[in-house]
Each structure stands twice: as structure tokens, then as C-alpha cells.
Structure 1
């Protein structure tokens, strides 16, 4: 059992939220393959549900598949949730890398276009943002009437996802029914979001490590080609690639990929 799963089993992950729309953010931060999740909160404790979800997320091999599974689990686990998506901010840019359906894609996009909405509030300011009457919610005077009119959205529940110092976001849950989310949903969603954030962070780290290994291997292959073709030492071969990269303003890994694919140094021409 991982430390995440242990925390969930012990009930130490997550935070309940009473009715009342927003919770200030802290200063720090049945679907396929999951047969246990079939009956909602009445049939299982929150800890049991989220522990099952943590195990399911640990099985996902890539970052994108982890994001997709988080969305799938949110729809399955949170009773009031009809559709779900994830907003992530990386290097100052916000996007929705995983959505359950076009309604979420459009609802999120409207928030980004209008610079207001519950997802943005959850991303930047609040641990939890809820609305059971979107159309008349005065907090978002541009987005709320637009999304209600265009998409029929009546309720939303957004929970902050804190994945790292440089990347954070929110889990966004939509419903076309008014007052779709209650206290049980707040507690379950908050607990699940903590586990989901940890899973996303772990998947991102693993992907970055794999990318670094692949980059190093590619550069080494290109270095070997130059050494053989031009009878250079390893240091000189690397210096040649670095100089070409700087002169052409092209990433070193892209120079290496070109050399491996074509057996030529960019700009030097054929032998």
C-alpha cells in the first residue's frame, strides 16, 4: 500500500466543506477496472472509494491516461456530477487536457475567454467552489448566463488540484440539474482531488524522467555518428552539435534527432 493509499484509508486526506460556495485555499498545497465503485457513498465509505481510485490511478502508464482516468472517476464517484474536466496551469498557461465530453470543453473554454468562472476561482484562490444556481450567480456576471443559456449548465463543483510549485489546476464537475451537489459531494470530491493531484504529479515526474532518458540516448547516438564520420573525440563531437544548435537557434535534441535520422549535420551538407 502506498503512502497515499494509507492516508486515504486513515481518513487523513481531504477536507469536508459545508454548503456555502467557496472554501479558502490552503497555503500549501462503477468504471472499467474499478468494480468496487458501484453504489455511491451509501455503499462505501469515502475512504474506501478514494482508496480504490488511488489504486486505479496508480495503474495508469502515462500522464494523459492518468488525467483521463481522473475525469472518468469523478463522473463515476461524485453523485451529482454528470460531466467533468481538469484545468491545469503550467508556466502561466491554462488549458483543459482532459474532459469527459464537449459540454465541459466548451464550458471551460468560455471561462478562459471571459477570464471568470468557478474553475478559475478554484485554480487561483479557493480550495472548493460550488454553485447550485449558475444562471443567477452574481460572482460570474459574464460566464454564468452564457454557460446556462448555451449549455444548460445549472450546477458546478470545482476543487483545487495542487500538483507542484509550477503547475496547479482544478477538477471541474458540471451538472444540468439545479442544486446537484451537497455536503457529501463536497467531502468526496475534496478527498478524491487530493489523491488525484498526487497521482498527476507522480505521472508528470515519471514522464519527465522518461523524456530525459530518451533525450540523453538520442544525443549519445548523434554524438557517436559524428565521432565515426569525422574521426572526432566525444568531447569535440558534442561541441560540434552544441555550436550548430546555438548558431541555428534549434534545440540540441532536435539537432541530434536530425543527425540520427539523416546521418548528416544540419547545414554541413552531404559528404
Structure 2
């Protein structure tokens, strides 16, 4: 590994990730960048565990989806265990899947059928949050040497910061969209039923509470004509 060149690539990647326009775009770019920048990596994905289920957040390469699906069905596997913090590990490396894997015997047997020869995974996390595991796949056994742990960790560190920023931006944009939607719905009610601004908001809030529907969803229904409080 040429570390100076890799460090320069990481600096470029950090700026590129922060320039993405959505959380999903950031996730997708992280997976694609791992394949592009990490030597020996043929596919990459980001796996999260939600309510005990394996969820593929991003994938670059078909074997990622198959591996994630397999681990979810078997309830075992290195990516699955890493993403759900089993044993408190933050990184794993399987240099050769042809060698015995006592912790994941069933997964290893099926993974070989998918053409996976070696794997490495790194948690994506900041001091306050975690976003799942970045998993790197190689078809060739022995492709995941010791250096790949450091390379993956460096990429994952930059990626976690970018994800934290992207999530904040997404939340702000979503909040702005919600306010805009609610404002439009209030305007419709005010014009249609001759209501004041406060009364129009009270109508939306009452429907939200009575039917246990989020306020922005009530507003969307009013805007599309699917709900008329009158």
C-alpha cells in the first residue's frame, strides 16, 4: 500500500463525500469509493442491523446483496455480527474463506458458493452514533492482507464524519419540507373554509392527534385533496 498516495486520495474523498446531496448518495459513494480506492477490494457494502434484521444500506457489487441476505437468514456472519456489535469488535478480517471459520461455519460454506474468497469489515461510527458496518469483499483468497484493516479504517473514519453531516443536512431539509407542506395545507384550509391561521393549524393538529397521524402527513393529504376536515 502506497500510504502517501492513499492519504491524498482520502483527502479528496472527504471533500467529495461532503459534496453529496443526500444521505443515500453519501452511502452509495462510500461503497463505490471503497472498491475504487482499496487495493484488492472487488465489492463493498454497508450493512446495518435494525430490529434484528440485516439491512443493506448501500452496495457496490452483486455479491454484497447476496452476502447480506444470507447472513440475515442464517442469523450469523462477520458483517452481521460486526453491525450489531457482537463481542464489541470494531473490525474483522477473514484472509481466506477456504480455511475453517468456527464462528460462521454455515455462512462461510455459502459465501464460498457466492465466489467470496476473503472479507474485511469496519464499523462506521462517530463518538455519538454508529451507522452500520462497511464490508469489503474480494474474490481471491489472501487478497485481504493486514494493510487492508488500516486502509478500511481510514476510509470508514472519513465516511462516518460525512454520514453524520449528511444525516444532519437531510434532517434539516426534511424539516424545511415539512414546514412548507404544513404552511401550504394551512393556506388551503384558510381559503377554503375562511379560517384564521391559528384555527387552520388547530384543525391540522386535531386530525393528527385523533387519528395518530404525523402532522406533515395530514398536511400532505390536505394538499392532495385526500382529506378535508370539513
What secondary structure, in the 3-state scheme, does the structure 2 residue paired with 1:134 have?
A: coil
Q: CA separation in 1, counterparts of 2:13 and 2:67? A: 26
Partner residue in 1 for 2:73: 113
Partner residue in 2 for 1:172: 135
In structure 2, stretches of 5+ residues that fail to align are none
The answer to whether 1:204 aligns with 2:167 is yes
The answer to whether 1:133 aligns with 2:96 is yes
In structure 1, stretches of 5+ residues that fail to align are 1-40
Pairs within 5 Å for 1:67-86: 67-86=27-46
The answer to whether 1:160 aligns with 2:129 is no
Partner residue in 1 for 2:111: 147
Q: Which residue, out of 243, 265, 271, partners 2:206? A: 243
CA contact 1:90–1:167 (8 Å) conserved in 2? no
Q: Bigger CA drift: 200-209 or 120-129?
A: 120-129
Partner residue in 2 for 1:34: none
Q: CA separation in 2, counterparts of 1:144 and 1:211? A: 41
Aligned alpha-carbon RMSD (Å) = 2.0
Superposed structure 1 runs of 4+ greater than 6 Å apart: none
What secondary structure, in the 3-state scheme, does the structure 1 residue paired with 2:41 have?
A: coil
Q: CA separation in 1, counterparts of 2:3 and 2:79? A: 30
Partner residue in 1 for 2:189: 226
CA contact 1:90–1:168 (8 Å) conserved in 2? no
* CA 183–249 in structure 1, closer or farther in 2 if over 3 Å, else same: same
Q: Which is helix-richer, 1 or 2? A: 2
CA contact 1:163–1:200 (8 Å) conserved in 2? no
The number of residue pairs the alignment matches comes to: 226
Q: Which residue, out of 144, 148, 156, partners 1:185? A: 148
- What is the CA-CA distance between 1:202 and the residue it aligns to? 0.9
Q: Which residue, out of 28, 51, 63, partners 1:103? A: 63
CA contact 2:54–2:69 (8 Å) conserved in 1? no
What secondary structure, in the 3-state scheme, does the structure 1 residue paired with 2:198 have?
A: helix
CA contact 2:42–2:137 (8 Å) conserved in 1? yes
List per-residue Cα deviations over 1:65-105 (Å, max 9, x = no partner). Answer: 11111111100111121111011345765411211122110
